[in-house]
């Protein structure tokens, strides 16, 4: 039973399109994150939500809009996709004073 | 501005020997440090952590050492096994579940027979 699951695993789309990536965790954690791994393999935090509230936004373009309908879900919606958005996006969750658990990643390719 | 640095992009170690991966950080507000292991096409998997009140934490073949004065931590794997070949990320956070976790750039460890 997967702890943090994100869908889809692969996403290929054209420039200018709008797409969403879904994330769900069944660990009962209060905090969820979105990370981006770029072509240089850096893992950079994008957003952090705690109990459905946005607490960290790392100067991500406002084309990226996270949405947390409940504590177990943090979805990422991206408008007007650009070539530079191509990357692997990871969702993660974290409980009280513990490590973060990551999903398997979504490889987004914008053509 | 990288707050967590892994200066060795790759490391090759013979099977059975000790692997030592190093990490430096700059932010003195960090008080919780983690190591993650990542295989291709998978998400990072938690390996071991250490809080700033300790200088060593051991879990089986894995030991993490923390030198707060030098702002340096290291991961020791002994003995190294073929399945240890992966990318290892060092990460740091403040002691709060709501704090962001900052990652280093990773070190690719290859275990050769």
Domain of A10 in residue numbering reads as 4-110
Residue A67's domain is classified under what CATH number?
2.60.40.10
Domains of chain B: 4-108 (2.60.40.10)
Angstrom distance (rounded) from CA B9 to CA B28: 24
Return the bridge partners of A54, or none. A49
Note the pLDDT tens digit of each residue in A39-80: 888 899 999 998 888 888 887 899 999 999 999 999 999 999
Locate B37 and state its tokens.
């292991």
- The count of structural domains within chain A is 1
Note the pLDDT tens digit of each residue in B64-83: 999 999 999 999 999 999 99
Q: For A41-50, B6-15, B91-100, which range has the lowest pLDDT when averaged over its residues?
A: B91-100
CB–CB of A44 and B103 under 8 A? yes
Residues of A in contact with B44 (CB under 8 A): 43, 90, 102
Q: Backbone phi, then psi, for A39, in 5-degree steps?
A: -65, -25
């Amino acid at each position: 039973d997967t702890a943090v699951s994100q869908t889809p695993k692969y996403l290929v789309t054209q420039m200018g399109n709008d797409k969403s990536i879904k994330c769900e965790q069944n660990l009962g954690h209060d905090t969820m994150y979105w990370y981006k791994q770029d072509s240089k393999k850096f893992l950079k935090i994008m957003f952090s939500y705690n109990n459905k509230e946005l607490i960290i936004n790392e100067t991500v373009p406002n084309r990226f809009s996270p949405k947390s309908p409940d504590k177990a879900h943090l979805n990422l919606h991206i408008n007007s996709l650009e070539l530079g958005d191509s990357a692997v996006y990871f969702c993660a969750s974290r409980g009280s004073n513990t490590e973060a658990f990551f999903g398997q990643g979504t490889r987004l390719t914008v053509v | 501005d990288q707050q967590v640095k892994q200066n060795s992009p790759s490391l090759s170690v013979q099977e059975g020997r000790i692997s030592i991966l190093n990490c430096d950080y700059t932010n003195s507000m960090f008080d919780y440090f983690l190591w993650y292991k990542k295989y291709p096409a998978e998400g990072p998997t938690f390996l071991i952590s250490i809080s700033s009140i300790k200088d060593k934490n051991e879990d089986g073949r894995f030991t993490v050492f923390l030198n707060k004065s030098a702002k340096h931590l290291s991961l020791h794997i002994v003995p190294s096994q073929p399945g240890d070949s992966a990318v290892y990320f060092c990460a740091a956070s403040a002691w709060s579940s709501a704090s962001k976790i900052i990652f280093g750039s990773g070190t690719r460890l290859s275990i050769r027979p």
